[in-house]
Structure 1
Amino acid sequence: MAQSLYFPLHLIALCSISECVQRQYHFINENKNWTEAQRYCREKYTDLATVDNMNDLIQLKKSANNEGVQNIWIGLQRTGVYKWYWSSGDPALFLNWASGEPAGSEECAVMRNGQWIVWLCSNVSFFICNNTSTGLVFVNQSMTWREAQSYCRQNHIDLVSVRNQNENQQLEKFINDRNSSGSAVWIGLFRDTWQWLDQSNSSFRYWYPGEPNNYGGHEDCAVIGKNTQRGWADVPCDSRQIPFVCHEDKLIVIQQNLSWSEALRYCRQNHVDLVSVQSVEMQRRVMNVVKLASTEAVWLGLHHYCSMNMWLWVSGDMVCYQNWAPGNGSTPENCKLENRKGAVQSGGNQTWISLPESHRLNFICTNY
């Protein structure tokens, strides 16, 4: 039985920074209004397309690269609730507003003297980009927030994100060393009322310059525009019939209560495997789907080898990225008597916990 459940140890790989995309896009060359397109995607796949990052966007563009096609529906819709996001697609969990901020209805943010202030997105300012090779990049060209975002995405990675106080202090010093005038500088923080249909937390946006403009006051759905960059635009939801893109999630929450070994067997018989979470991006995707679970925790493909004193993924990979809840992730005291497996909490901070494999929980299969 052990050979059928566990990956051979000689296939254990070193930590890798690469990871396969966990969402597949399907271009549907049929003309439907937004409601009809949504219904079609939910019946055939998962939903109208959600985009988490630039890699997703590249795959989306490839799927929709059809001659003669103009506007194309995606699964982004305007709501009545404003939320703060980072341009990179990450949720804004850490905030460092100046006293009295955020004030007014402005939708973009700058940094001045280490604190954040809301500004009109149409104002112009210097800005900071992220670059995987060189780190932070100070751009001393005056642009609007959207222009700065486009510049960073074309020449680097994206407008800078700030995840904690330490990063905020590093960014403040970086700006002070290069910006002698002390003027405000764009960061990647913005707010809007748009939400993905599948309730994804992704804040990624790829609006064409000047969009969304809510022309006429009722443009509540998003399309891939017919412009050369395929930037997005807002349009009325049911006023036209156009093609659309669906997405198919590679992560599936199974709402059956099984032991860890039973869950592993189920995934390998019906899908591919129990999910391995090897990066922040994959954890974010797990967080998006685990809220569908009916148990307080959900099995992952994470198990502890007592003889080796280490945790491993069933894929054969070492546990490089870690998201353990406090007090979890170490070697269990009674590991020789009780097999321990890893699960993700379906509520709260959705961190990982160690549980006896006999517990019966929902679980996440991967179709990759």
Structure 2
Amino acid sequence: MAQSLYFPLLLIALCSISECVQRQYHFINENKTWTEAQRYCREKYTDLATVDNMNDTIQLMKSVSDVHLWIGLQRKWQWSSGGPALFLNWANQQPDGKDECAFMRNGEWHDWNCSYTLFFVCYNMSRGLVFVNQTMNWTAAQSYCRQNHTDLVSVRNQNESQQLEKFINDSHTSESEVWIGLFRDSWQWSDQSNYSFSYWNPGEPNNYANNENCTVLIENTRGHWGDLSCDRHFCFVLCPDKLIVIQQNLSWSEALKYCRQNHVDLVSVQSVEMQRRVMNMVKLASTEAVWLGLHNYCSMNMWLWLSGDMVCYQNWAPGNGSTPENCKLENRKGAVQSGGDQTWISLPESHRLNFICTNY
């Protein structure tokens, strides 16, 4: 039976403008494909490891130097419309890393050769979804949608995925496979961090046989990287999260007190990356919504994070986010929904919910 060996590697990561985060990495001694390793990390911790700088690399290789190790760098999937693929609905063992374009079958996604021909679905800003009863390769389908509508369809959440599946089924086509606007582009970290630091081995990445879309730390090379086929099996490195879901039903003030006594604070969500991490965490919650460190500052008619920062990145559900006239009486706070689109809602602080603490 495979065993998971955990050893803390206390690494000082790159500092952001506002804070410096100490990372803790774990080595997992199980051989998995890149996608399996990513799924394991996201289910049990946070994500496959991001390597931000040389200090990360040097410290990591002091403990692990004689094996190939998956890290979280992959040629990313993104939508034709330009948006990142934050919501993912891949079929089992997909993507297998061999192809660059995606089609939908029975509501699930598969990667496939972009030169093959399929029916496809466009999105039109005024008409919505448009089924095109012609077969084209992915690039031709993209051009057709852009010339005649807006673009190939994007699928940004579970609700849109279900709507698209129903639309395809209602289009009375005998073909169950249709192109969607998802394709593989440039390199990106699995946790959506910016790809700014690289440490490729000489001659890498070479994308041998047009089938190397994932990244390993190469054994005995002082931590240099190489690109390999994502269906290879290696051990891997992950970084546990600094976020924790507390499955106690407390008011917002009680949750704040708990986090500050036992961790650092209630979580702030100031970027798409942090929102994605929170979306992964709230799956563990037992309440329909989860408290965030978001409160209504009545005297200034605005929402603020506990850090004092303004709410620049926003993910409010429709009808939420505005300051009510009687906010002093209601004393409303911000929460994230556990299901659906996992958008933010405002609630009276007396509601009793699970909550997310941060250890940053």
Superposition TM-score, scaled by structure 2 size: 0.53
Letter in 2 for 1:338: E
1:50 maps to which residue?
48
| Alpha-carbon contact 1:201-1:288 (below 8 Å) kept | no
**Residue 110 of structure 2 corresponds to residue 118 of structure 1:** no
Question: Alpha carbons of 1:353 and 1:334: their partners in 2 closer, same or farther (altered >3 Å)?
Answer: same
CA distance in 1, matches of 2:359, 2:339: 24
Task: Tell me which of 209, 215, 223 is aligned to 2:206.
Answer: 209
CA distance in 2, matches of 1:280, 1:230: 27
| Alpha-carbon contact 2:49-2:237 (below 8 Å) kept | no
**Residue 319 of structure 2 corresponds to residue 327 of structure 1:** yes
CA distance in 2, matches of 1:335, 1:267: 24
1:71 maps to which residue?
67
Task: Tell me which of 113, 137, 140 is aligned to 1:106.
Answer: 113
CA distance in 2, matches of 1:212, 1:288: 34
CA distance in 1, matches of 2:280, 2:53: 18
Shift in Å, 1:310: 1.5
Shift in Å, 1:271: 0.6
| Alpha-carbon contact 1:225-1:232 (below 8 Å) kept | no
CA distance in 1, matches of 2:345, 2:218: 44
Shift in Å, 1:57: 7.9
Shift in Å, 1:27: 5.6
Task: Tell me which of 225, 240, 243 is aligned to 1:230.
Answer: 225
Shift in Å, 1:253: 1.1
**Residue 60 of structure 2 corresponds to residue 61 of structure 1:** no
Question: Alpha carbons of 1:92 and 1:201: their partners in 2 closer, same or farther (altered >3 Å)?
Answer: same
| Alpha-carbon contact 2:69-2:218 (below 8 Å) kept | no
CA distance in 2, matches of 1:299, 1:343: 4
Q: Deviations over 1:221-249 (max 9, x none)?
A: 984333674135357648xxx7x533120
CA distance in 2, matches of 1:315, 1:48: 23
Shift in Å, 1:208: 4.5
SS of residue paired to 2:329 = coil
SS of residue paired to 1:336 = helix
| Alpha-carbon contact 2:46-2:238 (below 8 Å) kept | yes
Question: Alpha carbons of 1:338 and 1:34: their partners in 2 closer, same or farther (altered >3 Å)?
Answer: same
Runs of 4+ in 1 over 4 A off after TM superposition: 17-23, 46-49, 55-60, 83-89, 101-104, 114-117, 211-215, 234-238
Structure 1: unaligned runs, 5 residues or longer: 1-16, 77-82, 95-100, 120-161, 165-186, 216-220
Letter in 1 for 2:69: W
2:335 maps to which residue?
343
2:246 maps to which residue?
254
Task: Tell me which of 274, 292, 310 is aligned to 1:282.
Answer: 274
SS of residue paired to 2:294 = strand
Shift in Å, 1:343: 0.3
Letter in 2 for 1:61: T
Question: Alpha carbons of 1:323 and 1:33: their partners in 2 closer, same or farther (altered >3 Å)?
Answer: closer
CA distance in 2, matches of 1:73, 1:292: 28
Question: Alpha carbons of 1:26 and 1:364: their partners in 2 closer, same or farther (altered >3 Å)?
Answer: same
| Alpha-carbon contact 2:24-2:239 (below 8 Å) kept | yes
Shift in Å, 1:330: 0.8
| Alpha-carbon contact 2:49-2:238 (below 8 Å) kept | no
SS of residue paired to 2:184 = strand
CA distance in 2, matches of 1:18, 1:64: 25
Shift in Å, 1:341: 0.1
| Alpha-carbon contact 2:154-2:182 (below 8 Å) kept | no
Shift in Å, 1:22: 6.9
2:178 maps to which residue?
none
Task: Tell me which of 54, 75, 90 is aligned to 2:84.
Answer: 90
SS of residue paired to 1:325 = coil
- The total of aligned residue pairs comes to 249
| Alpha-carbon contact 2:216-2:225 (below 8 Å) kept | no
Q: Deviations over 1:129-181 (max 9, x none)?
A: xxxxxxxxxxxxxxxxxxxxxxxxxxxxxxxxx989xxxxxxxxxxxxxxxxx
Shift in Å, 1:326: 1.0
Q: Deviations over 1:23-61 (max 9, x none)?
A: 824265xx94438xx99xx9xxx6495147xx7587763
CA distance in 2, matches of 1:289, 1:325: 19
| Alpha-carbon contact 1:85-1:91 (below 8 Å) kept | yes
Task: Say what the alpha-carbon RMSD is for the aligned residues.
Answer: 5.2
Letter in 2 for 1:105: W
| Alpha-carbon contact 1:298-1:346 (below 8 Å) kept | yes
Q: How does 1:1-368 map to 2 (within 5 A)?
A: 18=17, 24-26=23-25, 28=27, 32-34=29-31, 47=45, 50-51=48-49, 61=57, 63-66=59-62, 69-74=65-70, 85=78, 90-91=84-85, 102=103, 105-106=112-113, 118=138, 189-190=183-184, 208-210=205-207, 223-226=216-219, 229-233=224-228, 234=230, 237=233, 244-368=236-360
Shift in Å, 1:250: 1.0
Superposition TM-score, scaled by structure 1 size: 0.52
Question: Alpha carbons of 1:231 and 1:289: their partners in 2 closer, same or farther (altered >3 Å)?
Answer: farther
Shift in Å, 1:359: 0.5
Letter in 2 for 1:225: I
